[in-house]
Amino acid sequence: MLNNSRVMLAINGILMIFLGIIFYLFSEGITKDMFPDVGEEAIRVGSVLRELMAGGVFFIGLLLFIAQGTIRSAAKRLLFGSGIGFLVIEILLIKIVLDSFASVPIWTLCLFPVLALLAFFVSTRKFQD
């Protein structure tokens, strides 16, 4: 089941939609957790930016989810592209951690490489269910 590009697109899409909703609903709390030593004005700016990011993440998740209905070759290309996108997100998260700019939850650091590896694995399989 997880070796099917359409199923993987659906899973990635649902996870990104869920992440977008979480970013929106808990934008202030997430911002405070990431930047515990900043003032209220900075928290508000960070919260607004996180809400905007939530819309983008939700949008990407929706596109991935809807794309599961495409032909297999297109689904594989979209899945491969999402794998690249997940790697870019992971690289940026690692940079943030290494620069000690903000606190990044460990689950976030683990989620995106797993999604990227699954996306690359499934998108490059010649034979799928």
pTM of the model: 0.84
Q: What stretches of 26-128 show up as alpha helix (H) in DSSP?
A: 27-34, 40-66, 72-98, 106-123
Average pLDDT score over residue span 64-91: 91
For residue 3, the 8-state DSSP code is T
**Which residue, among 72, 57, 58, 59, has the nearest Cα to 8 in the 3D structure?**
72
Give the model's confidence band at 2: pLDDT under 50 very low, under 70 low, under 90 confident, else very high. low
Number of CB atoms found within 10 A of residue 41's CB: 8
Check residue 82 and give its pLDDT: 94
